[in-house]
Amino acid sequence: MNSRNLVRLFMTTLLIGGVTGGVVGFIARWSEFESYFTSFEIASILSTFVWLFGVGLIFSVISQAGFFAYLTIHRFGLGIFKSVSLWNAVQVVLIIFVLFDLVYLRFLTFGSGEGIGSYIFLALVVLVIGMVTAYFKMRQTNKQAFIPALFFMVVVTVLEWIPVLNTNEEGWLYFMLFPLLVCNAYQLMILSNLINRSQKELAGKKVRKQTNEKKFKAEGLEGK
């Protein structure tokens, strides 16, 4: 990917994270901000949105760091296991392990006196959104892309989510989760398009360079 499209990916993901953070922040933490809307406090609503937007930008940066880290890990995994099917099998095991830990370990830590249902629900949200994104990624590319996409959407998202998981504050759980999921899904789906665009731009640049070289040589011969 060339630098122009890399910057485009960074800026668009940043914007998506900010907007998603601003919208989801109001919904996830409605109990804190409801009074602003019932009292029509426009200044408070705007200032709060700006703050939520800024936090969403931070979530976006975390998402992008996780995305590029996974691209490196994915290549590293393929190099170690020397087989796409074997590497995919390892990723499936890690997906199951992370989802189990997301439910069981959190329930052991925070679930005293309450049911396990809410912990299962959060894991299902991550899994279902991950599977839907992986399905569309598979349709966009090939069948072998399903497991890596699902791994990224589940395992990497949960790792990025750990700072808030450790607090277990419901409003913040959803506030951070959905911007991460949206940014991760966007990066996953747009990557192929940006790579193809970069290749076309590189090919066009090469053709223009060759054309200019031929033109320069022709003008040089005519000058003689």
**113-168 pLDDT, tens digit each:** 778 888 999 999 999 999 999 999 999 998 899 999 999 999 999 999 998 998 88
pLDDT in tens, 88-105: 999 999 999 999 999 998
Q: What is the mean pLDDT of residues 62-84?
A: 92
Predicted confidence at residue 224, as pLDDT, reads: 54
pLDDT band at 218, cuts 50/70/90? low
Query: Does residue 50 surpass a pLDDT of 80?
Result: yes
Q: Please state, for a pLDDT cut of 90, what percent of the chain lies above it.
A: 61
Residue type at position 169: E
Query: Does residue 204 surpass a pLDDT of 80?
Result: no
Query: Does residue 72 surpass a pLDDT of 90?
Result: yes
| Angle (nearest 5°) at CA 212 between 207 and 217 | 130
Question: How deeply is 3 buried, as exposed, middle or buried, from its count of CB atoms within 10 A (0-12, 13-18, 19+)?
Answer: exposed
pTM of the model: 0.87
Mean pLDDT (the chain) is 89
Report phi then psi at 16, rounded to 5: -60, -40
In whole angstroms, what is the distance from residue 152 CA to residue 188 CA? Answer: 9
